[in-house]
Structure 1
Amino acid sequence: MARQQPQAYAWPSLLHRQEAPLRLVYLDLNHWISLAKAATGHRDGDRRKGALEAVRDVSSAGTALFPLSATHYMEMSGIQDPRQRADIADVMEELSGFTTLINRTILMRYEIEAALDEMLGSASTRLDPLPLCGRGVGPAFGVHGGLRIKSKDGRDVTDSARSSWLQGPEAFDAWLSEAERQFERGILRGPSDADVPVLNLRGWDPRVARVGAKKRVEQEIELSARLDAEPQWRRGRLRDVVSGRYVAIELLDLLNETITDRKLVTADIFASREAARRFADSMPSADVHITLTTAAHRNRDKQWEPNDIFDIDALSSAVPYCDAVVTERHACHVLQSTKMPAKTGTKIMARLQDLVSWLDSM
């Protein structure tokens, strides 16, 4: 049976949970690291052995799945020790099977359409049905289709290669499946120390993800400075400020495209302050993103880092669409204090031991 979602949001009906009846459980990187330590016999892993056994049990029983996100791949690229990356990647592969949540930008596109459908009482047919989860790094970053074989002139010759494969089509399928598995392993693990010099010569730069996050950090620092200059906003309508910036920075291009396709104008959507609030708050991932960002800006001493951007992005997708999320303590506190579990229908926890208890109650 598919997950029953609360009705307050404009849930995108075109996003499908093909994994049902599996429970989707999202773990932030710190908890993956803890499980990897338990799996490898690390001295800090003893207290996590019970959690590792529990998640392995539900994974092998086919009752829970632990999907990855684009954030995991970006954070993994920042770990410098190849051995540590490999240990974490092994556990990720075992429990996720390389299942990934769809790209956040695509998710936002579907939420915009659903929010406008509800606001205008219409039903758009602009988008096709899409699974919430895909397999591998491609769907996490908005790329679909898997590995394909191309000729020298760029033509897709996968089908012809399959039909003419010496050992037959089934052997080709097995070869391609193994090639995809090795590709996904390599992406998660990253290069060995011996590979780095050659990759550097070819332009490889593991800092690219953090460069993008750093630019977004600068935007938050700029907002923080403005709030320092006008402190009444931190005490008052801070959420309106954050919400307006979210629409302007994160959604504007997608929103303009959608409005144009529907032959609307901006005033049709933002006719009043209340309408603007309803629009932003009706999108599940937007609500989570705005809630976490608003809480961060309440604290004038907050020091923004790229990891803050990674965490907020990941949670904005995982909290509304997974059955359970295990994250760090502060984010857990913010989400629970703002009643997010009741709004999204998601169990939100800060400890692996809490996850074990929840799994036992399934």
Structure 2
Amino acid sequence: MLRVYLDQNKWIDLARAASGHPAGGRFSDALALARAGVASGTVSFPLDMYRYWETSKRGNDRSRNEVVDVMRELSQQHTMALPFGILDHEIDQALRSRFGRPAAPRQQQVFGIGMRHITEGRMSWPTFDLRALPDGGASLPNGVWTELGRVVAESIEEDLLRAGPATFRSVGFEHTASDHAQRFVDFENTVARTIVQNGLRGDGIELIIRATDLTDIRPAVVEALERIGLTYEQFVRISSIPELMVFMDDLPTRYVTNVMRSAKHRQKQQKWEPNDFIDILALPVAAVYCDIVVTEKQWAHRLRQGKVNQRYSTVLLNDTADLVQVLVNASMT
């Protein structure tokens, strides 16, 4: 199955095509081929947590639901795991290649169904309860009971995807109150000042980017090292700086993260923005584990510069209309 990841603006392109919006006309062929691929079971358009998050911020109910309609149709509730469990697997694999252990690296199923897959079962809701029926549901055939449960679960999944700012406010959450994106920008601006103050270029920028990232993922590395009987201090002591940098590059999603970060830090005329936070979180998993990624022009360019497409055999596109030729080519292989 060909897995295609669309960032938020690309979903909007297809939603405009589906709703007959004038700006969607040039994407109608891409939508038609996407629908055909999904119907045949040969193409999957998985959603991640960040598609739920970005969609939920749209205050206009009509436009949000137009996007959700296309998301539900093409994704068929296929979803992608969060980066954290994937990172645990990647760290275990990297340690095993160096030390021969752990013997059984932690596994992570990247693709699955629904929000419960995204949250690894941490999100749950009541199962369909037939005890309210007069006979406790005894008169219902097992197949009907199962189907009712499936319909209820699917309805909850749909409600989660359609929820907008008003729904979140009603349960005490305000999107604008989240400061994670701004804290990310503040951190990257601190890194940028360090680069300038120390006159870093080329390999120097690569070094500081990977060093700060190793600090960021240190808790996950510490936990993984404990599983093979090493402390973080021992790991750092027996590893040269080049070896630590290679270790970071051996973690596929962090390799992509740092390609994106270092590329932006080299382009000083482009300032860090809060929207970059979601891109830095979302794109690495997609770029490593999906077959096709359609994202904005700056990131597609930077990922190609970092040879991410070659390293992970990923097709990188920045124009949703270009899906037409890619899907046609895929159908002929």
TM-score, length of structure 1 as denominator length: 0.83
What residue in structure 1 maps to residue 173 of structure 2?
204
Q: What one-letter code is carried by the residue in structure 1 that aligns with 2:101? A: S
Over the matched positions of the two proteins, sequence identity in percent amounts to 26
Structure 2 counterpart of 1:41, from 9, 20, 40:
20
Structure 2 counterpart of 1:254, from 181, 199, 220:
220
Distance 2:202 2:194 in 1: 14
Q: Is 1:247–1:280's contact at 8 Å kept on the other side of the alignment?
A: yes
What residue in structure 2 maps to residue 340 of structure 1?
308
Q: Is 1:269–1:276's contact at 8 Å kept on the other side of the alignment?
A: no
Distance 1:165 1:103 in 2: 37
What residue in structure 1 maps to residue 194 of structure 2?
226
Structure 1 counterpart of 2:148, from 148, 154, 175:
175
Asked whether 1:188 is paired with 2:161, we answer yes
What residue in structure 2 maps to residue 238 of structure 1?
205
Change (3 A) 1:59 1:199: closer
Structure 2 counterpart of 1:135, from 113, 124, 129:
113
Distance 1:269 1:361 in 2: 46
Alignment of 1:49-128 (within 5 A): 49-125=28-104, 127=106
Q: What one-letter code is carried by the residue in structure 1 that aligns with 2:11? A: W
Change (3 A) 1:82 1:118: same
Distance 1:310 1:24 in 2: 20
Asked whether 1:304 is paired with 2:277, we answer no
Q: Is 2:15–2:67's contact at 8 Å kept on the other side of the alignment?
A: yes
User: Which structure has the highest helix share of the two?
Assistant: 2
Distance 1:28 1:214 in 2: 20
Distance 1:351 1:341 in 2: 16
Q: CA deviation at 1:138?
A: 2.9
* Stretch deviating more after TM superposition (65-74 or 233-242): 233-242
Change (3 A) 1:161 1:125: farther
Structure 1 residues without counterparts, runs of 5 or longer: 1-21, 150-156
Q: CA deviation at 1:160?
A: 8.8
Once the two structures are superposed, residues 87-122 of structure 1 have per-residue CA deviations (whole angstroms, 9 ceiling, x without a partner) of 001100111111111111111111111111111123
Distance 1:332 1:170 in 2: 47
Change (3 A) 1:233 1:160: farther
What residue in structure 2 maps to residue 165 of structure 1?
137
Q: CA deviation at 1:354?
A: 2.0
Change (3 A) 1:264 1:234: same
Structure 2 residues without counterparts, runs of 5 or longer: none
Q: Is 1:216–1:309's contact at 8 Å kept on the other side of the alignment?
A: yes
Q: CA deviation at 1:66?
A: 0.4
Distance 1:278 1:110 in 2: 17
Q: Is 2:102–2:228's contact at 8 Å kept on the other side of the alignment?
A: no
Distance 1:284 1:200 in 2: 37
Q: Is 1:85–1:188's contact at 8 Å kept on the other side of the alignment?
A: no
Distance 1:114 1:161 in 2: 49
Change (3 A) 1:191 1:172: farther
Q: What one-letter code is carried by the residue in structure 2 that aligns with 1:176? A: G
Q: What one-letter code is carried by the residue in structure 2 that aligns with 1:241? A: I
Change (3 A) 1:191 1:315: closer
Distance 2:39 2:90 in 1: 33
Asked whether 1:295 is paired with 2:257, we answer no
Q: Is 1:82–1:190's contact at 8 Å kept on the other side of the alignment?
A: no
Q: CA deviation at 1:161?
A: 9.3
TM-score, length of structure 2 as denominator length: 0.90
* Stretch deviating more after TM superposition (235-244 or 210-219): 210-219
Q: Is 1:292–1:312's contact at 8 Å kept on the other side of the alignment?
A: yes
Q: What one-letter code is carried by the residue in structure 1 that aligns with 2:269? A: D
Distance 1:104 1:158 in 2: 34
Q: Is 1:336–1:348's contact at 8 Å kept on the other side of the alignment?
A: yes
Change (3 A) 1:91 1:201: closer
Distance 2:312 2:298 in 1: 18
Once the two structures are superposed, residues 119-177 of structure 1 have per-residue CA deviations (whole angstroms, 9 ceiling, x without a partner) of 112343363x442112112332443575444xxxxxxx979999953424332221221
Change (3 A) 1:256 1:190: same
Distance 2:174 2:124 in 1: 24
**What is the aligned residue count?**
326
C-alpha RMSD of matched pairs (Å): 2.4
**What's the secondary structure of 2:22's corresponding residue?**
coil
* Stretch deviating more after TM superposition (71-80 or 34-43): 71-80
Q: Is 2:58–2:164's contact at 8 Å kept on the other side of the alignment?
A: no
